[in-house]
Each structure stands twice: as structure tokens, then as C-alpha cells.
Amino acid sequence: MSAERMLSWPAVHSRTGLGRTTVFREIKAGRFPASVKISKGRVGWRESDIDAWIEAREAEQGGRGQDRDRARDENGGMNHAPSVQTKPQPWRGLRRVV
């Protein structure tokens, strides 16, 4: 039996884009894979469970994630309008000396 790869919280957050509160709320509701206790004070998630959850979400959305990715590629890596450039404001962050 090969060892299952375990993901830490930062890896789960990076893969899903979900915040910690949302993840634990979804676990409690049974809509997200439960964490596994690795050692005292340490939990992780099975990589296969997280991958399956992501695939299920993409299937639920009918492949809309692929449309988003295609739009991002067509827009030079952005999936939104470019932000407006502003002039630097050198006075920001300076304290007034009295």
C-alpha cells in the first residue's frame, strides 16, 4: 500500500481558493472532505479527496471553469478589465513632524 500524499492548510487554500472558515463550515455541512489528524495539533487533507472535490465542483458548473481559463488566456492572463494606473503619491505614509 502506497502512502497517500497529505496536503497542509496552505496547500488546500491554494488549490481551492477557499478561506479557513468556509472550509470548516463546508466540512461540518458534509460538502468538503474532512481533515485527517496527522499528529497532535496537526491535520491534513488527502490530496485525492481535494482533487475529487475540485473535479466535482467543475462538473457541477458544467465546465464554466474552462471558459474562464480560456477568457483569461485571451486577455493576456487577466479575467477582468485592467486596473487604472494612478500617479504615485509620495506624501502617502509620511508622518507630520511637530
Answer whether residue 60 is part of any domain: yes
CB 26 within 8 A of CB 17: no
Residue 9: partners with Cβ closer than 8 Å, 6 or more residues away = 20, 43
- Centroid of chain to Cα 36: 19
pLDDT of residue 71: 55
Domain count within the chain = 1
Average pLDDT over residues 43-70: 82
Interaxial angle between packed helices 20-29 and 9-16, expressed in degrees from 0 to 180 and rounded to the nearest 10: 90
CA 45 vs CA 5, 7, 97: distances in Å:
8, 5, 52
pLDDT of residue 4: 85
Average pLDDT over residues 70-92: 58
* Domain range enclosing 53: 6-68
Q: Please give the model's pTM, rounded to 2 decimal places.
A: 0.60
Answer whether residue 85 is part of any domain: no
pLDDT of residue 93: 60
Answer whether residue 92 is part of any domain: no
76 has pLDDT over 60: no
